[in-house]
C-alpha cells in the first residue's frame, strides 16, 4: 500500500486535471505511443516511479536559490534548480541591487567604522526587537564573505556607499546597474558552470513524503505557463539529500495577503514580480513546516503611485529625496516623519497622516536639490516616464502639487537651518557633515510622490541557523528540508531594513545549499 | 489499489465522453484507438489522418487559437503546430530553439536592438535569458515583461 501516499492526499483539483490530461491523450489517440501514456500515468500516480533524480533540488532562482545551487555543487551534489516563471531570477532580478555589508572593503577605505554587532543592533531596532537573534547573527556575520563570493563570480559593485533608512552608518553597496539582475545573472551562470541544471517553467506542486513522513522528492509541473494552473504536465523528481526552498515571498498573492491582513486588498500596490505568490508556502506547511509572522508584510514607503510595480521611484526616494531632501504633506506643506527612519515607521506615518476621514489619499511629495540626486542613477528615467518632476523654483513645485506656498517655504527654511546645525530638530534624521553639499538647498528641485506598496514578507517558515526547516509540532528540524531567503521568517522581526535582503538571502542560501549537499550521510541512514 | 481502480474507471468514462464530444456526436474515432489502458493504440500503427485528427481534437480542447498575420504564411494558417511547438498536440509554449531557427539566437537579437535606449533583448534584470515567448505570443496579445513595472514602450513591438 505504499501507493497510498501518492494520491490519497492529493488535492481534488489535481485529480480532475490528471483525468482531463489522460482524456486528452486518449482522445488525441494514436500518435502518442503507449510509452507516453504509461509514463505520464506512472509519473503522476505511482509513488515508486520517478521521472528524474537529483541529490539536491532547489526551488527558486533568486539570490538564495542561486547561492544554494553554487554551494551544493561545490559539495559535489547533483543539483537542479527549478523556477516556475519563464524568466530566472524571481523578485531578486528586479531588486535594487543594494546589499548591506558589515565591514566591507569600501567602508575601510572611507574610514567608516562598522561591525557585525552594530548591524545587528540596527536590524533589531528596525525589527522592534522581535528578530530571531541567532539567525540575525549568522546573517550579519556572513555578509562580508557573501560579498566576496559575489565578486568571485564577477558581480560588479559601484564605488559608492549608501545609507538606507534605519542603518546607523553607511554600509550599503550597490551594483553597477543598480539592480539585482547584476547579481542573479552571474551567479546563475556561475552555478551552471559548476554543473547545476536550471529549469524554468517548472513549478513546485507538492513536497512528497513516504509513509513515515520522510521527504522523498517533489511533484512538479513541467512546462508550466504562469499563471495557468492547467498548463504543463506533472512529474515526480526524486531527491536524495535535500530539498531547498528558496521560493521567495508572497506579497503579490492578493487573496492570501488579505487572509493575513484584510487591509492589504488590491488597491494597495505591490513592488513584487507577478510570481510572488504563496503556493510554495502552502507546500511547506503541508509537510508541517512551522510558520512565523505570516501577516507581517513590509510596506515600502518610497514607492510611487505614478508607476506600477517596483519601478524607478524606490531608488530616487531612498537614495536622493529621503536622505537629502524632505517629504511633505501636500495639504500643509509640512514634514511628518523622519524620512530616513526604518520602513515601518515611514509607511505607518504616510498611511496615518496623508489620508482623511473618508479614506481619500493625499499623496505626499518628496523632493531634493540637484546635488542630492548624485547617488540616484534612475532619476533621468523617472523624469522621462512621468514618475519624477523637475522644478526651477519652489513656487513651481508648490503650484504643481497644490501645496500651500508659504508653509512650504517656511518648512524648507527650517530644514536648511537643521542642515547648517547638523541636527534635525524636528524628526531626528541623521545629517552627515561629509555629505553636506548634497542636502536640500537651491533649485532646481527634483520631486516625486511617495506612497507605500507591499514590498516584502517578513514572515515565512521557521528555520534554524543551519537553514533546516523546523517541524511545527516536534520543533525539530525536518529531515532533508531546507529553506532560505524571503520564504523564511524571523530574521527581520517586524520590519526589515533596506538592503538587508540581499545580505540575508546570499548568506542563508549558501548555508542551505551546503547543508543540503552534506546531508548525504544522514539521508542514507534514514533510508 | 481500490482508489486506482476507481480512478481508472472514471478515466474510461471521461474518455468515452470525450470521444463523443470531440467528434461532435458522430463516432468517427474507432473505439480500438481510445483504450484507456493504452494497449490498443500501438496496434493500429501510424495513421496519416491521425495527425489531422489530433490537431482537430487539440483545437477543440484548447478552443480556437488566434493567429498573428505575420506568422500565417509560415505555419500555414495555423495548420502546422509542429513547426513551432515540435508536437502535434501542443499544450506548452514552444521551445526557443524553434524561434531561433528563423530569428537568430538571443545574443543576435540583442545586437539587433542594441541601439534602443532600453534593449529588451539584453535587459539589466535578465540579460539574454528571457525566453522569446515570455513577451512574444502567437495566440494571445503580446505584452512586454518590462511593462509589469515600467511605462516605457517599444515602437516596433508587434502586439
- Active site annotation includes A331: no
| Cβ atoms of A27 and B18 closer than 8 Å | yes
Number of residues written out for chain A: 527
| Domain residue ranges of chain A, discontinuous segments joined by + | 90-194+248-299+454-526, 302-451
3-state DSSP assignment of residue A30: coil
In a domain, residue B9? The reply is no
- Phi/psi at A238 (5° precision): -85, 145
What stretch of H or E contains A468?
strand A468-470
Task: Give the separation between CA A429 and CA A307, rounded to whole angstroms.
Answer: 27
Residue A243's beta-bridge partner residues? A57, A481
Fold of A90-194+248-299+454-526: FAD/NAD(P)-binding domain (3.50.50)
CA distance linking residue A281 with residue A277, whole number of Å: 9
What pLDDT tens digit does each residue of chain A (527 aa) get? 343 333 434 344 334 444 334 333 333 333 333 333 334 444 444 568 999 999 999 999 999 999 999 999 999 999 999 999 999 999 999 999 999 999 999 999 999 999 999 999 999 999 999 999 999 999 999 999 999 999 999 999 999 999 899 999 999 999 999 999 999 999 999 999 999 999 999 999 999 999 888 999 999 999 999 999 988 899 999 999 999 999 999 999 999 999 999 999 988 999 999 999 999 999 999 999 999 999 999 999 999 999 999 999 999 999 999 999 999 999 999 999 999 999 999 999 999 999 999 989 999 999 999 999 998 888 999 999 999 999 999 999 999 999 999 999 999 999 999 999 999 999 999 998 888 899 999 999 999 999 999 999 999 999 999 999 999 999 999 999 999 999 999 999 999 999 999 999 999 999 999 999 999 755 544 44
Segments of B38-154 assigned E as strands: none
In this predicted structure, what is the pLDDT of residue B81?
82
β-pairing, A453-457 vs A445-449, is: unpaired
CA distance B157 to chain A (A): 18
Q: Contact B126/A87, CB-based, under 8 Å?
A: yes
Coarse DSSP helix, strand, coil percentages of chain B, rounded to the nearest 5 percent: 50, 0, 50
State whether B150 and A15 contact (CB < 8 Å): no
> What cell was used for A343?
520602513
Q: What would the grid cell of residue A519 be? A: 546531508
Q: Does domain A302-451 correspond to CATH entry 3.30.70.920? A: no
Mutate to test the interface with B, among A5, A6, A16, A23 (most CBs of B within 10 A): A23
Which of A28, A89, A188 is closest, CB to CB, to B54?
Answer: A28
Contact check, Cβ <8 Å, B91/A28: no
CA A411, distance to chain mean position in Å, is 35
Question: From the centroid of its chain, how far is CA A364?
Answer: 25
**Which positions in chain A touch B33 (Cβ < 8 Å)?**
29-30
Test the A interface: residue of B38, B81, B117, B152 with most A CBs within 10 Å? B38
Number of domains in chain B: 1
Q: Are A516 and A57 in contact (CB under 8 A)?
A: no
Residues β-bridged to residue A448: A366, A388
Could you say which of A221, A343, A449, A496 is catalytic?
Answer: A343
In a domain, B103, yes or no: yes
Residue of A nearest to B95 (CA): A223
Across the interface, of A26, A89, A311, the residue whose CB is closest to B126 is A89
What is the DSSP secondary structure assignment for residue A452, as one 8-state letter? Answer: -
Residue that is written with C-alpha cell 505504499 in the block: A2
Q: Which of B47, B46, B15 is nearest to B31 (CA)?
A: B15
Candidates B95, B105, B59; CA nearest to B80 is B59
Residue B156: domain span: 64-159
For residue B95, give the CATH number of its domain. 1.10.1130.10
C-alpha cell of residue B6? 476507481
CB contact under 8 A, A3 and B10: no
Amino acid at each position: 500500500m505504499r501507493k497510498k501516499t501518492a494520491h490519497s492526499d492529493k488535492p481534488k483539483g489535481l485529480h480532475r486535471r490528471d483525468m482531463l490530461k489522460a482524456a486528452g491523450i486518449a482522445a488525441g489517440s494514436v500518435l502518442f505511443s503507449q510509452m507516453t501514456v504509461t509514463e505520464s500515468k506512472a509519473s503522476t500516480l505511482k509513488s515508486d516511479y520517478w521521472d528524474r533524480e537529483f541529490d539536491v533540488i532547489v526551488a527558486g532562482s533568486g539570490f538564495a536559490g542561486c547561492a544554494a545551487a553554487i554551494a551544493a555543487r561545490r559539495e559535489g551534489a547533483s543539483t537542479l534548480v527549478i523556477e516556475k516563471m519563464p524568466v530566472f531570477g524571481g523578485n531578486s532580478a528586479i531588486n535594487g541591487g543594494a546589499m548591506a555589508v558589515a565591514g566591507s572593503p569600501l567602508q575601510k577605505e572611507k574610514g567608516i567604522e562598522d561591525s557585525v554587532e552594530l548591524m545587528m543592533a540596527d536590524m533589531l531596532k528596525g525589527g522592534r526587537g522581535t528578530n530571531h537573534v541567532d539567525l540575525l547573527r549568522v546573517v550579519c556575520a556572513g555578509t562580508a564573505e557573501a560579498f566576496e563570493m559575489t565578486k568571485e563570480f564577477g558581480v560588479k559593485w559601484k564605488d559608492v556607499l549608501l545609507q538606507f533608512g534605519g542603518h546607523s552608518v553607511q554600509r550599503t553597496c550597490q551594483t553597477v546597474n543598480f539592480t539585482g539582475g547584476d547579481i542573479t545573472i552571474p551567479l546563475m551562470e556561475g552555478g551552471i558552470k559548476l554543473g547545476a541544471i536550471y529549469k524554468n517553467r517548472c513549478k513546485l506542486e507538492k513536497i512528497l513524503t513516504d509513509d513515515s513522513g520522510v521527504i522523498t522528492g517533489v511533484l512538479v509541473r513541467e512546462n508550466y505557463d504562469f499563471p495557468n494552473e492547467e498548463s504543463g504536465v506533472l512529474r515526480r523528481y526524486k531527491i536524495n539529500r535535500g530539498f531547498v526552498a528558496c521560493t521567495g515571498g508572497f506579497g503579490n498573492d492578493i487573496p492570501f495577503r488579505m487572509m493575513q491582513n484584510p487591509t492589504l486588498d488590491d488597491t494597495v500596490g505591490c513592488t513584487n514580480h507577478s510570481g510572488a505568490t504563496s503556493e510554495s508556502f502552502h507546500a511547506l506547511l503541508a509537510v508541517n513546516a512551522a510558520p512565523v509572522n505570516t501577516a507581517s508584510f513590509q510596506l515600502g514607503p518610497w514607492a510611487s503611485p505614478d508607476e506600477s510595480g517596483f519601478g524607478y521611484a524606490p531608488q530616487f526616494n531612498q537614495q536622493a529625496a529621503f536622505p537629502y531632501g524632505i517629504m511633505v504633506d501636500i495639504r500643509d506643506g509640512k514634514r511628518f516623519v523622519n524620512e530616513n527612519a526604518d520602513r515601518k515607521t515611514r509607511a505607518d506615518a504616510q498611511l496615518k497622516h496623508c489620508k482623511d476621514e473618508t479614506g481619500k489619499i493625499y499623496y505626499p511629495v518628496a523632493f531634493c536639490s540637484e546635488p542630492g540626486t548624485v547617488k540616484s542613477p534612475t532619476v533621468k528615467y523617472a523624469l522621462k516616464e512621468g514618475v519624477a518632476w523637475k522644478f526651477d523654483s519652489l513656487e513651481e513645485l508648490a503650484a504643481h502639487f497644490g501645496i500651500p506656498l508659504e508653509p512650504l517655504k517656511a518648512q524648507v527654511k527650517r530644514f536648511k537651518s537643521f542642515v547648517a546645525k547638523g541636527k534635525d530638530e524636528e524628526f531626528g534624521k541623521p545629517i552627515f557633515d561629509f555629505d553636506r553639499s548634497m542636502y536640500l538647498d537651491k533649485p532646481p528641485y527634483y520631486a516625486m510622490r511617495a506612497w507605500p506598496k507591499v514590498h516584502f514578507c517578513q514572515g515565512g517558515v521557521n528555520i534554524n541557523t543551519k537553514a533546516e526547516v523546523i517541524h511545527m509540532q516536534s520543533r525539530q528540524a525536518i529531515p532533508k528540508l531546507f529553506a532560505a531567503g524571503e520564504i523564511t521568517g524571523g530574521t527581520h522581526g517586524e520590519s526589515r531594513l533596506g538592503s538587508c535582503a540581499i545580505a540575508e538571502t546570499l548568506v542563508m542560501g549558501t548555508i542551505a545549499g551546503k547543508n543540503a549537499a552534506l546531508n548525504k550521510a544522514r539521508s542514507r541512514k534514514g533510508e | 489499489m481500490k482508489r486506482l481502480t476507481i480512478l481508472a474507471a472514471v478515466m474510461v468514462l471521461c474518455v468515452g465522453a470525450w470521444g463523443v464530444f470531440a467528434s461532435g456526436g458522430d463516432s468517427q474515432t474507432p473505439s480500438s484507438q481510445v483504450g484507456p489502458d493504452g494497449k490498443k493504440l500501438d496496434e493500429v500503427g501510424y495513421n496519416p489522418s491521425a495527425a489531422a485528427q489530433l490537431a482537430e481534437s487539440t483545437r477543440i480542447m484548447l478552443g480556437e487559437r488566434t493567429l498573428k498575420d505575420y506568422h500565417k504564411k509560415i505555419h500555414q494558417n495555423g495548420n502546422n503546430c509542429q513547426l513551432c511547438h515540435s508536437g502535434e498536440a501542443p499544450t506548452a509554449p514552444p521551445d526557443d530553439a524553434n524561434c531561433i531557427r528563423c530569428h537568430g539566437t538571443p545574443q543576435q537579437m540583442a545586437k539587433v536592438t542594441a541601439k534602443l535606449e532600453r534593449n529588451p533583448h539584453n535587459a539589466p534584470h535578465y540579460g539574454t535569458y528571457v525566453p522569446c515567448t515570455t513577451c512574444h505570443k502567437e495566440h494571445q496579445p503580446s505584452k512586454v515583461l518590462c511593462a509589469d513595472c515600467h511605462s516605457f514602450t517599444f515602437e516596433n513591438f508587434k502586439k
